[in-house]
Chains A and B, each alone.
Chain A
Amino acid sequence: MSVLQANCPSCGASIEFQAGSTIVLVCPYCRSAVARTDRGLNDLGKVAEIADSQSPLKLGLKGTWKDIRFELTGRAQYRHELGGFWDEWYATFSNGWVGWLAEAQGRFYLTFFQPLAQGTTLPSFAEIQLGQFVNEVPSQSPLMVQEKGAATTAAADGEIPYQFTPNEKVQYADLAGKGGSFGTIDYSSDPPWVFVGQQVTLAEIGLGDAKPVQRDARKVSAAAMGCPNCGGPLDLTVPDQSERVTCPNCNSLLDVNQGNLTYLHALNPPPAEQQFLLAVGIEGTFAGDVKYKIIGAMIRSVTIEGIKYFWHEYLLYNPMIGFRWLVHSDNQWNFVEPVNPADVEQVAYIGAGAVVKYGGNSFKIFQDAPAVVEFVKGEFYWRVEQGETVRAADYVSPPKMLSLEMTGNEMNWSLGTYMTNAEVEKAFTVADLPKPWGVAPNQPFTGRFYYTWGFLPLLLLLVVAIFMIPLTGLTKTILNQQIVLPPMTNPQTPQVVFSQPFPIKANGNVRITANAPLNNTWADLDVDLVNDQSQEVESVNVPISYYSGVEDGESWTEGDQSQDAILSSLPAGQYTLRVEGTWENATQPMSVSVKVEQNVNRGVNFCCAGVVLLLIPLLNLFRKISFESRRWKDSMFGSSSSSGSSDSDDSSYSSDD
């Protein structure tokens, strides 16, 4: 570093240009912007005080990036043309690099000046379009225009590495690429300057210990800076970033400029029967034990086929993280956070069948309609107005929902995550939130487990069945005997014949098959298995009938000459069959072939177990189809083909876990 000591041309105080890269130094005594030139020092004029900010950064903080140490040596504040400030910090590296650390809405972007190859021509500010890839800018991944606009240099502090002129209007285009790549085209010079880098966390640049400025909400007293309309007091949680605030006393919309309030107009009343369920000012604890405070709330609407649908959005704020949203629609809740537009792979059109990809998931289009701000309450970081309209398109992949909001100058993607009522109640320690009706666009189906992992028992059943065949043994015939029943003396008095004794083993089912050469007649056999030792009897009935003939030239048959009966396993031992029969031709003897088998593989037990195990998976499959049908009936692009939507197995969405 080359240190230059000099006297301020405005006040004469001693000032020091610490870094060789410093072009402008803000005199800490008189706040003049002092520029270092070849011919000496120039006074560029007074620079405003840096607006109050809860930024965790401050001049003099030291960090590291890619193992190179740096120090924050300067800071400039820019005013966005649509309202709001952002900070740019200048990081002077130990190797002479100068980095720009931009801070906006709690996010940080570290960029470096990127010289372009000779002959490279960038699209002009007028030509550059939102969503356009600017391939002329070298980067790890293609950079897409996320925002274009104009800003005004508002304030500065410390050492600035370029010609900082107070109140100068600067046109710029912000670019974003995959993986947090980031770039800016600064159109204030000709040719434009290009800065390329990436989104970083404070921990990644060695500033993880930096803490936000802790202070109470700035109280604007009635006497000093109260509501310019009614004089009522106002609390501003983020006075350095808020652009609009509503007065709860007189329902006025006020402009906020550095804590100074200007009356704009009275708010139109909220739509009938549209009440906020959560109060502005309360704090909630979300995933990761992160606390957010509700600083604003709004009612928005879309009109579809002449019907207006309302929903509520709560603006959440955490000084270390920035702004998030909690969206309440049809008593369903979503926690919404911004995403890098370049990480969203989108199709060239927005319409039926459109699918975008983000984070490895495919999101199907659900809605595309102009969203209108109907009512606002609290403070907002942009110049919100009733009637403000953006094009809003929602894409769903339960439990996530990607939303695109587009205006002429800006496109923003955000990612909503479905929250159950219980989660919202727990976050804000409230009770009895109204129960939701219908199915939310990104509500996860909670029964997926049953038709995915639920098939596991069925698979195991198949495996067990296959393994049990060799274990229990193959079918074995233990009796095969031809017996003859003598003619009946009386058709009502059956004849009885005993078989030869045969052994039965334990733990094996028993099948008794009787075969009789019948034709157009019947026989009814009552078969008893008699245990020779215990005399216990197990009885089965085996009716046989067989009929055949020719009718209208076609032969037909009915019944079978062979029938069987099955028994569960019997105690091991010696058994005899007692066959008692009656038959139609009582005067004729009846010849019957009797066969007894053990370990018969029938499959009935398997089928019964399979049916029982299939019931719940099938039931949930039908529930899923019905659930998806109800989800998509509310979509502008509803389609039953959407039933294949992915679901979450996350038990946090489960109502039954």
Chain B
Amino acid sequence: MFRKLYLVFGAGVLLFYTASAWFGWEIANSGSHSRLGVPFIYTGFRGGK
């Protein structure tokens, strides 16, 4: 059961990656309106002034 779940999970990750590449989604982005960005790898932050 876990093996199948793992394979489904792996296939999901692959599918998501492929979709991201095809549609130009960036999981780590600096956009103000992005719903995809991951805060902790927010690339716009370069430290304080």
Contacts and interface: CB of A to CB of B under 8 A. Distances in A.
B27 to A, nearest CB: 5
Interface string B9-28: 01101101110111111111
A385 interface: no
Interface of A: 449-450, 454, 456-457, 460-461, 464-465, 468, 471-472, 506-509, 522, 524, 537-543, 545, 563, 565-569, 598-599, 602, 604-606, 608-609, 612-613, 616, 654, 656-657
A590 to B, nearest CB: 14
B6 A454 contact: yes
Given A538-B32, A540-B31, A612 B13 contact: yes
Contacts of B21: 464-465, 468, 471-472, 605
Nearest to A460: B14
Given A461-B17, A522-B49, A540 B30 contact: yes
Nearest to B15: A464
B3 A449 contact: yes
| Interface residue range, chain B | 35 or more
B24 A472 contact: yes
20 contacts: A450-B6, A460-B14, A461-B13, A461-B17, A464-B21, A468-B21, A471-B22, A472-B22, A507-B24, A509-B26, A542-B44, A543-B49, A545-B46, A566-B29, A568-B24, A568-B25, A568-B34, A605-B25, A608-B38, A612-B13
A464 B14 contact: yes
A311 to B, nearest CB: 31
Contact of A657 (B1, B25, B38): B1
Contacts of B14: 457, 460-461, 464, 609
Given A464-B17, A602-B26, 6 more contacts: A454-B6, A567-B26, A569-B24, A612-B13, A656-B2, A656-B3
Contact of B22 (A507, A567, A613): A507
Which of A507, A569, A606 is most buried by chain B, counting CB atoms within 10 A of its CB?
Answer: A569
B22 A568 contact: no
A235 to B, nearest CB: 44
B25 A604 contact: no
Given A457-B13, A524-B49, A565-B43, A540 B25 contact: no
Given A541-B30, A543-B46, A568-B36, A604 B41 contact: yes
Which of B10, B18, B28 is most buried by chain A, counting CB atoms within 10 A of its CB?
Answer: B10
A540 B32 CA distance: 6
Nearest to B33: A538
Given A454-B6, A457-B11, A539-B32, A569 B44 contact: no
B24 A657 contact: no
Contact of B43 (A566, A608, A612, A656): A566
Contacts of A457: 7, 10-11, 13-14
B47 to A, nearest CB: 8
A566 B32 contact: no
Contacts of B25: 509, 568-569, 605
Contacts of A465: 17, 21
Given A461-B14, A542-B44, A656-B2, A507 B23 contact: yes
Contacts of B11: 457
Contacts of A542: 44
Given A507-B23, A616-B6, A657-B1, A608 B28 contact: yes
Nearest to A509: B24
The 3 closest A-B pairs by CB, nearest first: A569-B24, A457-B10, A565-B30
